[in-house]
Structure 1
Amino acid sequence: MSASTFHQAIGSLHSIGYVSNSTFHNECGNVSMRLITRGFKLEISPSKREDYCSRNRSCGTIQASLSSYQTPESNPISSSGTNKDSSKKSSEAALILIRHGESLWNEKNLFTGCVDVPLTKRGVEEAIEAGKRISNIPINIIYTSSLIRAQMTAMLAMTQHRRKKVPIVVHNENEQAHAWSQIFSEETKEQCIPVVTAWQLNERMYGELQGLNKQETADKYGKEQVHVWRRSYDIPPPNGESLEMCAERAVAYFKEEIEPQLRAGKNVMIAAHGNSLRSIIMYLDKLTSQEVISLELSTGIPMLYIAKEEKYIRRGSPAAPTEAGVYAYTKNLAKYRQKLDEMLH
């Protein structure tokens, strides 16, 4: 697929995935996904459904297929070169974490939380730069939050990837959306990467602080109180989420939906937010509640982990300015990059 066709496809992408409907977000918070022969099956597990129904007036089983977007490509960094049995543990898989680029409310120094605010020009540039840094790393599936700043970051980053595969947002919010978004060319499918959006990866909900100026809020309530709201682990802002509450949903989603992909040898990119990613890193690096509150993530700086033998090994430095400084390539990643060089030159 030519670069011009790829960029045209990027411009025509829809911006919402299978959990994008706001009503659906509010009513169906516990969703699980399991890999089936040619796609995914989404359903509310019995144990969670019982708890969910006790707190809501209605519930149901949601089933949807991602087969239209699942590419048949095997794990490109697998030592064997094939992935015949997805139930077997892959020798290695890449996990890329990217905090979205600067948003319009970051620029205005406002509490953003779950308010859906797009990127600034600088944020767009950060996303493109992030894409350059991961342009030699294989990606089979992308997860983003349901918020536009994370989705923009993922899409812009992928414009820089050397494979030039097109990220396609998966639409399974209803039968019609699924039917209308199907791809009927096997060749085209092979050149696509499914993008799954999930509200569980959203930023921490800042409650009554959302939309307030951070400095003015500190002047009103005191710097110490605002620091407690922003940096403590288990104390939420008024009518908002604490980091602990954010971690409960983000890590649960990672374990249920993303980890199975890594174990199957799929290379995953997650574009999300400071607190949802902080929560996932807490799980990956086994940080304590005290260690995680001091963890700072820069906007638009990708972090690389290698999932191997049910362990996560960090291979990237979030402060490094160049690709060479960010990543210490594994042998398989180096082979993949060499393959790209041979294929594209």
Structure 2
Amino acid sequence: MSERLLVLVRHGQSEWNLKNLFTGWRDPDLTALGVEEATRAGARLKAEGYQFDLAFTSELSRAQKTLDLALNELGQTDLPVIKDVALNERDYGDLSGLNKDDARAKWGEEQVHVWRRSYDVPPPGGESLKDTVARTLPYYVTEILPKVLQGNRVLVAAHGNSLRALIMVLEKHTPETIMKRELATGAPVIYRLKADSTVESITDLAG
């Protein structure tokens, strides 16, 4: 059996990351830096000798493009790819498209901080991280994890908060500690899993 390998990559910088806008389910493209970050992610994985059997991504183009660029570097452009809305970024609801400073001016710095950094308080019309976990984690358990446990080498390109939902389980975070878990854009995090689905080792290729 092949190793039980799961690699998570947050998409490269998007145009709205650069403009300091709440993005959520909106669909801006990558910036030139984002393209560079995604390409570098693939190059790092290639340099470490990684190859994959299957990939998953969201239905948002910034994650899909990141995956495409990484796979191009890996020479795996024909890899099977599964796209699903379950891996989409957290939905920021009424905050989507707003500049974060403008949002603070409208609702107050403390309220916006609560929406961004609390685990279970959603912004108006949007999702909390708890809601995102409730959407993303079942998909991981039913669709992604079984593939890894069967010995497939799986690459997931998605978003800061949908990946935090997976990391919460993989790294055994609490609702408090997961909010502080930063995930750099375009930086692969490599997990090797035991047969019982717990983590044997973690390698972070950030930097």
TM-score (norm 2): 0.95
Partner of 1:95: 6
Number of equivalent positions: 204
User: C-alpha deviations, 1:17-63, integer Å up to 9, x for none?
Assistant: xxxxxxxxxxxxxxxxxxxxxxxxxxxxxxxxxxxxxxxxxxxxxxx
The letter for the 1-side match of 2:84 is A
Give 1:280's match in structure 2, choosing from 145, 162, 166.
166
- Residues in 1 aligned to 2:85 and 2:99: alpha-carbon distance in whole angstroms: 25
Alignment of 1:216 with 2:102, yes or no, is yes
Partner of 2:69: 156
Q: Is the 8 A contact 1:99 1:272 kept in 2?
A: yes
The letter for the 2-side match of 1:158 is L
TM-score (norm 1): 0.58
SS at match of 2:8: strand
The letter for the 2-side match of 1:144 is T
- Residues in 1 aligned to 2:130 and 2:82: alpha-carbon distance in whole angstroms: 24
User: C-alpha deviations, 1:305-324, integer Å up to 9, x for none?
Assistant: 001222223421354x2xxx
Give 2:23's match in structure 1, choosing from 107, 112, 115.
112
Partner of 2:43: 132
Give 2:202's match in structure 1, choosing from 315, 320, 323.
315
Distance change in 2, residues 1:318/1:215 (3 Å): farther
Partner of 1:292: 178
Q: Which 4+ runs in 1 deviate beyond 4 A?
A: none
Q: Is the 8 A contact 2:7 2:156 kept in 1?
A: yes
Partner of 1:142: 55
SS at match of 1:279: helix
Spell out the pairing of 1:180-199 with structure 2 (5 A cutoff): 192-199=78-85
Alignment of 1:306 with 2:199, yes or no, is no
- Unpaired stretches in structure 1, ≥5 consecutive residues: 1-74, 79-91, 167-191, 322-345
Partner of 2:150: 264
Identity of aligned residues (%): 48
The structure with the largest alpha-carbon Rg is: 1
SS at match of 1:219: helix
Alignment of 1:226 with 2:112, yes or no, is yes
- Residues in 1 aligned to 2:59 and 2:184: alpha-carbon distance in whole angstroms: 20
- Kindly report the root-mean-square deviation, in angstroms, between the aligned alpha carbons of the 2 structures: 1.1
- Residues in 2 aligned to 1:165 and 1:279: alpha-carbon distance in whole angstroms: 27
Q: Is the 8 A contact 2:44 2:205 kept in 1?
A: no
Distance change in 2, residues 1:101/1:263 (3 Å): same
- Unpaired stretches in structure 2, ≥5 consecutive residues: none
Alpha-carbon offset, residue 219 of structure 1: 2.1
SS at match of 1:153: helix
Q: Is the 8 A contact 1:144 1:151 kept in 2?
A: yes
- Residues in 2 aligned to 1:102 and 1:150: alpha-carbon distance in whole angstroms: 10
Alpha-carbon offset, residue 253 of structure 1: 0.2
SS at match of 1:265: coil
